[in-house]
Structure 1
Amino acid sequence: MSPLTVAIDAMGGDHAPDVLIGGAAIARERYPQLRFVFFGDAAKVEPLIKAQPLLIDCSELVHTATQISPDEKPSVAMRRGKGTSMWLACEAVRDGKAQAAVSAGNTGALMAVAMLLLRTSPAINRPAIASFLPTVRGESVMLDLGANVGCDERNLVEFAFMGAAFARLSLGLAKPRVALLNIGTEDLKGNEAVRGAAQILRETPDLPFEFTGFVEGNGIAQGEADVIVSDGFAGNIALKTQEGTARLVSAYLAATFRRSIWSRLAYLLARPALQALRERLDPNRYNGGALLGLNGLVVKSHGGTNAVGFAAAIAIAADLALGNFTTKILDDLKRIAPATAPEAVVPAEVTVQS
């Protein structure tokens, strides 16, 4: 089993570096071939690594005393980020010292730094952020979740190919169902970009996925598609709406079971089922947004995640690296008509996860 090296921004996130080191140890149990290069303050990180038996013989620590702050603007991170833990992690991927990088730091800064150092892959105009969403049928992939506020039809088509490849590798789906997020399922609904992307996908022969047309917002949680494609504006709103709805349902359930002595007794009887529901909706299970479309693999973890959640983000990076994701995307995109890719524009702000 060939080793797989993952670069870790050990200083990014709300609970760094403790949670990140703990998450790496959990991930190593699942992927014994993993090796890690941690970038961070040696005085804080080294004792944590030594406290994890699974990490002692498979970890390298590169000291840096600087890090990108949570409120750093992407433009500032690009100018002043050199030498920070986030920058060095992405640089390790660029230089071939790691097959993937994982950070729980500032999302906008990570996207900017990753695009600056890795650039977009050939034949891809813009990168996109992809992550998992729980549905009644299991899990779905959704992209873009905030990297691109506005997209044209070509961008959406590329997102469809990237999302399908992501679903094949991460969810084990041979031919995922791909749909474009829209305000209706009829062919005439939606803006020009969405309708144009649908036409291109319908006319492309031998797609490596099943294009099912349009899906509305209420079809996301129903699992009507394995991959939901959208621009970053609508995608981010859909993601945050689903997260808020999950919290609303949890609050309603808690209030209902506190209403009377009888409802409290009912809670005792229902507690095992409620615990299963809580675990099913635990955001840490779905933690990790992959920055797809770059010349290298970078995964963004939620800044407030726990060790289990950070391990999930590392697992996404490992699955994509083991599946040779970047090469497969380029092979898939040969199926569509070539288009001149404009120079990549680093987004001013990215809002999906912090």
Structure 2
Amino acid sequence: MKEIKGPAIFLAQFISDKPPFNNFKDICHWASNLGYKAIQLPTSNSDLFDLKKAAQSQQYCDEVTGIAADAGLTVSELSTHLQGQLVAVHPAYDEMFDNFAPQAVKGNPAARTVWAKEQLMLAAKASQKLGLKTHATFSGALLWHTFYPWPQRPQGLVEQGFAELAKRWLPILDCFDEMGVDVCFELHPGEDLHDGVSFERFLAATNNHPRVNILYDPSHFVLQQLDYLAFIDIYHERIKAFHVKDAEFTPNGRSGVYGGYQNWQDRPGRFRSLGDGQIDFKSIFSKLTQYGFDGWAVLEWECCIKHPEDGAKEGAEFIKHHLIRPTDKAFDDFSRAETDTQRNNRILGIK
């Protein structure tokens, strides 16, 4: 068994124009002072982290890791969640997802897709220069508008959708492979990769590409009512990244999984700060440790009730409390007997 690293924190939800959240040095010291050991770094804010420069300059990457190290931190992964989303966008979502794109490609879906794929390629090269082995992202979606089969989906539609998604991602995956970095897709409603079955479809469409892996976030499975512990048993070999995020699901007589277009506070399924939801993190950390996961346990704060700074402060201690140092011996080793073939034969009744 190997030991999970942590605690780490995803910075995306904390970046703002106010100190200490408005520059890389100060936000690193803020995270370190809370007890975090690593940061998952979003790449969509060039004021915080210049992705293009990182892909081109080892010196810049060394400066970034140096600033983090001065605060007692390392970088766990880069994140291209927003850019990954734009690799595949159904036209129904064009206008809303244009908010994730730079001005130069807004209103031009084809150019936006090209830009998104280029961003992922840059992230692969930047990850390699930073010495990272895993990368966090979204898959994008061409089929999400058909997730509930009414009207009935035409025959072959799902297969064609995943074939096209794979076609767009394969050059990106090959680039990450060349850089020696795993792509960890966060399985998330709104993405074509949102559960185990859809992940398997994509994996098959990419010919079981070795860089297709999973960012495990149990909160999204609670909201889908998927067994998040059994998921680890099934897919542990592909789980290469981990978001520690809590959630709760309390259905009522007025709404359920789909949420009735309500705001987050009123939905039956809600994201919560660590320890405030329903997720069995003791079992999650036990299973991941059992299966040898040695990546970072990364807090992702998304709570509809608690202040983010309080969630971050509590989250560091929560993760630290759940980390498991694996045992190097069996509990009953004290009673172990040396191998004796003749004695074993007698116990087995073999003459």
TM-score scaled by length of structure 2 = 0.30
Length-normalised TM-score, structure 1: 0.30
From the CA coordinates, give the structure whose radius of gyration is larger.
2
